[in-house]
Structure 1
């Protein structure tokens, strides 16, 4: 059975993504990391056949602010970098709800805004041919785009 690691911190978004995954791949074993910390740990476990990767992630689930901890707008890129350095790259599909990503806290005064294309280029630097593509969640036809990318996994 195909093992899928899904790095996604938003429950309603995850429900919709999971439905598309199951439609495209059938019977799969899915493990979900809800924050950057869990994602780093699970990536190191290895044995994944597919990674569904959000870019903007909670650093640690829980905390204050309505049950959410601190946030890293480019946390998914850190996961991709970790995979590269650990030599554990797997087929990866980026599914993100944003088209722009600040790289630093605005108070730091060094904020740079990356577009979705910039993020894709950076992810490709880390993942090479393992990056199957990126989908802008919520855009018109996002689910059909994800289904098309799942065909690249060889099981759709």
Structure 2
């Protein structure tokens, strides 16, 4: 059985870019898209994914024609990770974010390295890697390929 990945990303260009890269790098991986916190949680409840590629900034609900998708969440990805932890679901995750800095709960800006350290500390069984995505740079591709290879290498597929 081929690996199944959940790609959680609300921005169409970024989603297409990541999807294309995964398809070209790992032809055997099937990818399911989710575009919000709620659709990601629903997908996790109904499918048995091998790993997840997760954006940090997500709307609460899928954005439809003339809709905003509910409250935008700068840390919507963390809400998904906390749900996984509370439900006892160990879904290996690579976080892909286009931002280099985030306001934390106090409003203080934290850099990508600080975010990476906090996420690895809070979700040590789930978060495998935090990757900075930039459509104009190639470094994210190497990091993502290595992360996916590491996850797939720890499992057997027929």
Normalised to the residue count of structure 1, the TM-score between the two structures is 0.83
Give the secondary structure class of the aligned counterpart of 1:30: strand
Output one character per residue of 1:94-123: Cα deviation in whole Å (capped at 9) or x when no partner: 11100122246xxxxx52333222322332
Give 5+ residue unaligned stretches, structure 2: 154-158
* CA displacement at 1:26 relative to structure 2: 1.5
Give the conservation status (yes or no) of the 8 Å contact 2:95–2:129.
yes
Paired positions, count: 149
Report the aligned-residue RMSD: 2.2
Give the secondary structure class of the aligned counterpart of 1:62: coil
The reply to whether residue 48 of structure 1 matches residue 49 of structure 2 is yes
* CA displacement at 1:124 relative to structure 2: 1.9
Give 5+ residue unaligned stretches, structure 1: 105-109
Output one character per residue of 1:48-86: Cα deviation in whole Å (capped at 9) or x when no partner: 10100100111223368x653331001101111111111
Question: Does 115-124 or 89-98 show the bigger shift?
Answer: 115-124
Q: More helix per residue: 1 or 2?
A: 1
Identify the residue that residue 146 of structure 2 maps to in structure 1.
148
- How far, CA to CA, are the matches of 1:100 and 1:92 in structure 2? 20
* CA displacement at 1:140 relative to structure 2: 4.5
The reply to whether residue 130 of structure 1 matches residue 126 of structure 2 is yes
Identify the residue that residue 94 of structure 1 maps to in structure 2.
95
Identify the residue that residue 26 of structure 1 maps to in structure 2.
27
Distance 1:126 1:41, change over 3 A: farther
- How far, CA to CA, are the matches of 1:45 and 1:122 in structure 2? 29
- How far, CA to CA, are the matches of 1:114 and 1:20 in structure 2? 28
Give the conservation status (yes or no) of the 8 Å contact 1:46–1:88.
no
Distance 1:135 1:94, change over 3 A: same
